[in-house]
Amino acid sequence: MHRHHRRLQTSRERDTLIIVPGASITKVMLVDDDEDLRLIGRAALSDIGGWCTLLAEGGEEAIRLAAAERPDVILLDAMMPRIDGPATLGRLREHEATAGIPVIFMTAKAQPEDIERYLGLGAIGVIRKPFDPLGLASEVSRILAEAGGGV
């Protein structure tokens, strides 16, 4: 499985060392064919998470945008028309510019065997749809921190 090691940002506040998982993320990309889902996803990642959020409506746009913008992490819908999530991940891994970008699948179909398959393809995690917009950014941070060696 692809492991993406990520620097953790630390800060001192009242003499207490605070470790913020995934704090080095600045830019995330959300790939989903549903326009409304992209809207609520961007609100969750930008307004609540405080990240710059790139949106792509399909696999081809995701591949092009990822190469140009190099997001820190990609949230990828599993089931999309034309190029689906697993095929998109395969294409991202073929290109040097995008091969190392961590990918998290998002899916309404999250049976244990599906999750196992997605992780086997090289995803660092799976987030279930529907998601809680207030908790999405925290979930992404947690998955990244665990993939980076655990916190």
Partner 1 sequence: MTEAKGGERDAARARLQAVRARFADRLAARVNELVDVIEAARGGRAELEEAASLAHRLAGTAGSFGYAEAGEHAASVEAALRGVQRGSVEWDALDRALAALRLHTP
Which residue ranges make up the site for partner 1 (CB under 8 A)? 20-23, 25, 33-34, 36-37, 39-41, 43-44, 47-51, 79, 81, 106, 108, 129-134, 137-138, 140-141
**Alpha-carbon Rg for the chain in angstroms:** 15
CB 135 within 8 A of CB 41: no
> Which distant-in-sequence residues (6+ apart) come within 8 Å of 52 by Cβ?
26, 27, 28, 46
Q: List the alpha helices (DSSP H) in the chain.
A: 35-42, 59-69, 85-94, 112-120, 136-147
Instruction: Tell me how far, at minimum, the Cβ of 8 lies from partner 1, in Å.
Output: 12
Instruction: Tell me how far, at minimum, the Cβ of 39 lies from partner 1, in Å.
Output: 6
Pick 46 or 121: Cβ nearer partner 1: 46
Pick 1 or 134: Cβ nearer partner 1: 134
CA–CA dist 10, 31 (Å, integer): 30
Instruction: Tell me how far, at minimum, the Cβ of 94 lies from partner 1, in Å.
Output: 27
Pick 98 or 140: Cβ nearer partner 1: 140
Pick 88 or 141: Cβ nearer partner 1: 141
Residue 73: which of 34, 22, 38 has the closest Cα?
22
Instruction: Tell me how far, at minimum, the Cβ of 19 lies from partner 1, in Å.
Output: 12
